[in-house]
């Protein structure tokens, strides 16, 4: 069967999608890029915001219009929280988060999928490559013990559950054998890895570095209060990438209390300063929610002023929207759409300024880059500290290779650095007399 896999939302959804891709391939099915070419469409849906719910519904309807003959399998947080609504949209199979680890098995049984080995992906080709990607997301845990007042994901994903280290290491070894150069560890509450096993996250990282040869190991989003004690010394290993995505959510202490967050702005600032002292090239990126209930002009100004001091390499900006089922949805003082729009505009301008300044700090440096894709004759990739770079290239085989480059000017839009390949040093031969 021809299988099209789609995902909305978080990196954990991406990791699960990649796992399904490998299982479908192993069963003799073929992955296809377009839903219109598929016999089966699988969507790993999202429900983190009301907008994510809307996009999940929209993708289902759009796919059904594009390919009415395809059978549709729906999983993810939207499928879990809105099962009846999802089923009413005419999907063929709804699989909740609790059963998604068995999605391929369940779909095969319920939809009587017939494997056609002659159409399967060539042996040895990684499912990640078949999905058009060069970086693999590896799910190490699921669920979350915390209850931030804006978050519905803890309801959709349930309690924390960690994978055994040997299973994670085995998956990474397999990915490397298939040609992957980089993996990203991800989870709903990544810093909570091992809470049910008695194994801290830094111990898992150390084991991966010791027991695999994967060239690049990177972390997904990590709550700032969850950084394990032994984390920073691990960055001494050049295979552990110096980038931390630490969600701040607000720079106002009062707003953070209403969000039920566990890190105050001054604590976050000390943590960032410590990280930069320990790992000089580290790139710290973050998430910010704009217009949280009750956010006054004074609190917004306080938040913006704090963010200005942090020199983030990138900021993911989310405009707050009411999400039924969360504590924040019942709070008084909902911010007007006009105020949210203006605050979002201000923060986007600051985020672009900080991103450009971060890129400029590394201009003129030599760094290794993993080339990930090519568009219109331009190769794009990332440095170890997750700076996006680009170069004009005629090399057909550059993608999925790591190469040393010299970082040059920031592009006009302030999104990436242009760079030039670094030529190998000429061989020096002594005269023989």
Last residue of a domain, one of 320, 344, 361: 361
User: Distance between CA 193 and CA 143 in Å, rounded?
Assistant: 10
Q: Is 206 found in the same domain as 183?
A: yes
Between 14-28, 115-129, 352-366, 403-417, the lowest mean confidence (pLDDT) is in 115-129
Write the CATH number for 25. 3.40.50.2300
Q: Is the dihedral of CA 224, 185, 200, 233 positive or negative?
A: negative
Q: Residue 127: inside a domain, yes or no?
A: no
Q: Does an H or E element contain 269, and which?
A: helix 265-278
Helices 337-361 and 297-308: angle between axes, nearest 10 degrees = 10
Of 432 and 30, the structure prediction assigns the larger pLDDT to 30
DSSP, collapsed to helix, strand or coil, labels residue 363 as coil
CATH number at residue 353: 3.30.750.200
230/102 Cα distance (integer angstroms): 35
**What rounded mean pLDDT belongs to the chain?**
90
Q: So what's the pLDDT on residue 428?
A: 45
Q: Are residues 139 and 113 in the same domain?
A: no
**Among the ranges given (96-105, 260-269, 345-354), the one the predictor scored with the smallest mean pLDDT:** 96-105
Q: Among residues 175, 234, 64, 219, which one has the least CA distance to residue 400? A: 175
In this predicted structure, the answer to whether residue 28 has a pLDDT above a threshold of 60 is yes
Q: What is the end-to-end Cα distance of the chain in Å, rounded? A: 69
Q: Mean per-residue pLDDT for 302-317?
A: 98
Average pLDDT of the segment spanning 297-325: 96
- State whether residue 132 is helix, strand or coil: coil
Dihedral-angle region of residue 143 (phi above 0 means left; psi in -120 to 50 means alpha; beta otherwise): left
Q: Does the structure show a pLDDT above 80 at 122?
A: no
Given a contact cutoff of 8 angstroms between Cβ atoms, the answer to whether 94 and 47 are in contact is: no
CB 336 within 8 A of CB 166: no
By percentage, how much of the chain surpasses pLDDT 70?
92
Residue 424's pLDDT is: 61
- Tell me, what's the pLDDT at 128? 61
Look at residues 192, 218, 241 and tell me which one is the last residue of a structural domain. Answer: 241
Residues 319 and 269 reside in one and the same domain: yes
Nearest to 258 by CA among 335, 367, 354: 335
- CATH code of the domain containing 383: 2.40.50.140
Q: Are residues 327 and 225 in the same domain?
A: no
Same domain flag for 357 and 396 = no
For the ranges 44-48, 100-104, 216-220, the one whose mean pLDDT is highest? 216-220
Mean pLDDT of 87-91: 89
Phi and psi at residue 168, to the nearest 5° = -65, -45
- Considering the domain architecture, whether residues 336 and 414 belong to the same structural domain is answered as no
CATH code assigned at 185? 3.30.750.210
Are 256 and 213 found together in one domain? no
What tokens appear for 338 in the block?
């006009």
Count of domains for the chain? 4
Considering the domain architecture, whether residues 270 and 237 belong to the same structural domain is answered as: no
Do the beta carbons of residue 30 and residue 1 sit within 8 Å? Answer: yes
The residue range of the domain holding 268 is 243-361
Residue 343: the pLDDT is 98
| The pLDDT of residue 432 | 39
Residue 124 lies in a domain: no
In the sheet with 315-319, reading across from the earlier edge strand, the strands are 243-245, 283-290, 315-319
| pLDDT, position 433 | 36
Report if residue 223 sits inside a domain: yes
Bigger pLDDT: 209 vs 146 = 209
Partners of residue 135 on adjacent β-strands: 182
202 and 225 belong to one structural domain: yes
How confident is the model at residue 119, as a pLDDT?
A: 45
Higher pLDDT, 349 or 124: 349
426-429: which pairs have CB atoms within 8 A and are 24 or more residues apart?
A: none
Domain assignment of residue 427, yes or no = no
Tell whether 221 and 330 lie within a shared domain: no
Q: Is 430 inside a domain boundary? A: no
Residue 392, judged by CB atoms within 10 A of its CB (0-12, 13-18, 19+), counts as exposed
In a shared domain, residues 352 and 248: yes
Is 394 within a domain?
Answer: yes
Residues 205 and 215 in one domain: yes
Which of 241, 260, 289 is the C-terminal boundary of a domain? 241
Q: What is the DSSP letter of 88?
A: H
Specify the pLDDT at position 130.
54
* 188: in domain: yes
Q: What is the pLDDT of residues 35-79, one digit of tens each?
A: 899 999 999 999 888 888 999 999 999 999 989 999 999 999 999
- Band (118; pLDDT cuts 50, 70, 90): very low
Q: Is pLDDT above 60 for 425?
A: no
Quick check: 243 pLDDT over 90?
A: yes
The answer to whether residue 196 is domain-embedded is yes
């Amino acid at each position: 069967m021809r299988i099209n896999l789609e995902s909305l939302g978080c990196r954990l959804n991406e990791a699960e999608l990649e796992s399904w891709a490998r299982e479908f391939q192993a069963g003799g099915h073929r992955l296809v890029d377009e839903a219109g070419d598929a016999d089966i469409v699988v969507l790993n849906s999202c429900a983190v915001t009301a907008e994510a719910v809307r996009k999940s519904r929209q993708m289902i309807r759009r796919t059904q219009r594009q390919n009415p003959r395809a059978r549709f399998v729906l999983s993810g947080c939207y499928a879990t929280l809105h099962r009846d609504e999802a089923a009413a949209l005419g999907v063929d199979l709804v699989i909740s988060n609790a059963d998604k680890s068995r999605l391929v098995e369940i779909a095969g049984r319920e939809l009587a999928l017939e494997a056609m080995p002659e159409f399967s992906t060539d042996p040895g080709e990684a499912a990640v490559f078949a999905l058009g990607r060069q970086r693999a997301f590896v799910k190490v845990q699921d669920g979350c013990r915390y209850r931030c007042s804006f978050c519905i994901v803890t309801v959709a994903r349930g309690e924390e559950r960690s994978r055994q280290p040997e299973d994670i290491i085995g998956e990474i070894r397999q990915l490397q054998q298939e040609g992957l150069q980089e993996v990203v560890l991800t989870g709903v509450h990544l810093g909570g890895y091992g809470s049910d096993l008695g194994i801290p996250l830094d111990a898992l990282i150390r084991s991966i570095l010791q027991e695999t040869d994967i060239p690049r190991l990177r972390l997904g989003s990590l709550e700032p209060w969850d950084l394990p004690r032994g984390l920073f010394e691990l960055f001494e290993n050049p295979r552990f990438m110096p980038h931390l995505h630490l969600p701040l959510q607000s720079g106002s202490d009062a707003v953070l209390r209403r969000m039920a967050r566990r890190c105050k702005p001054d604590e976050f600032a000390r943590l960032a300063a410590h990280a930069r002292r320990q790992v000089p090239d580290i790139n710290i990126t973050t998430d910010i929610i704009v217009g949280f209930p009750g956010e006054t002009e004074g609190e917004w100004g306080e938040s913006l002023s704090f963010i200005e001091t942090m020199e983030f390499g990138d900021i993911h900006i989310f405009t707050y929207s009411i999400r039924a089922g969360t504590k924040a949805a019942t709070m008084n003082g909902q911010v007007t759409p006009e105020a949210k729009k203006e605050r979002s505009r201000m923060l986007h301008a600051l985020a672009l300024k900080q991103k450009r300044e971060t890129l400029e700090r590394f201009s003129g440096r030599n760094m290794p880059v993993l080339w990930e894709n090519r568009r219109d004759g331009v190769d794009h990739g990332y440095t170890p500290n997750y700076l996006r770079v680009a170069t004009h290239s005629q090399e057909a085989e550059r993608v999925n290779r790591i190469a040393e480059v010299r970082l040059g000017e920031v592009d006009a839009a302030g999104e990436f650095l242009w760079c030039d390949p670094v030529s190998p040093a000429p061989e020096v031969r002594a005269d023989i007399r």
